[in-house]
Amino acid sequence: MNKLPVFPIALKMLIVPVWMTVTFGVIVGSFAFVFSSNARAENNILGVRDEQTYQFYTAVPQNRSQLVQQIEVADTRYLKLKEFFRIYNAPLTMVDAASDFIAAADYYQLPWTLLPAISCKESGCGRIIPTGSFNPFGWAVYTGQTSGANFSSFNEAVWVVAKGLRADYYDQGLDTIAEIETKYTPPSAATHQHWQIDVSFFMDQLETWSL
CATH number at 117 reads: 1.10.530.10
Say if 99 falls within a structural domain. Answer: yes
**Prediction pTM value:** 0.67
How large a percentage of the chain has pLDDT more than 70?
65
d(CA 39, CA 17): 33
- Greater pLDDT, 101 or 47: 101
201 and 98 co-located in one domain: yes
Integer CA distances (angstroms), 170 to 93, 164, 175, 180, 196, in order: 28, 9, 5, 8, 16
Domain end marker among 58, 84, 101: 58
100: in domain: yes
**How would residue 23 be classed by pLDDT, with cut points 50, 70 and 90?**
low
DSSP single-letter state for residue 209: -
In a domain, 1, yes or no: no
* C-alpha–C-alpha distance, residues 38 and 20, integer Å: 27
Q: Residue 178's pLDDT is what?
A: 97
According to DSSP, residue 26 is labeled H
199 shares a domain with 163: yes
The pLDDT of 71-87, averaged and rounded, is 88
Parent domain of 43: 6-58
Whether 110 and 44 share a structural domain:
no
pLDDT at 172: 96
Mean pLDDT of 46-62: 35
Do 29 and 76 belong together in one domain? no
Asked whether residue 87 carries a pLDDT value surpassing 80, the answer given is yes
For 188, residues 6+ apart whose C-beta sits below 8 A from its C-beta are 181, 194, 195, 196
Tell me: do 114 and 177 sit in the same domain: yes
Provide the pLDDT for residue 48: 33
The answer to whether residue 39 is domain-embedded is: yes
**Of the residues 58, 77, 102, which one is the last residue of a structural domain?**
58
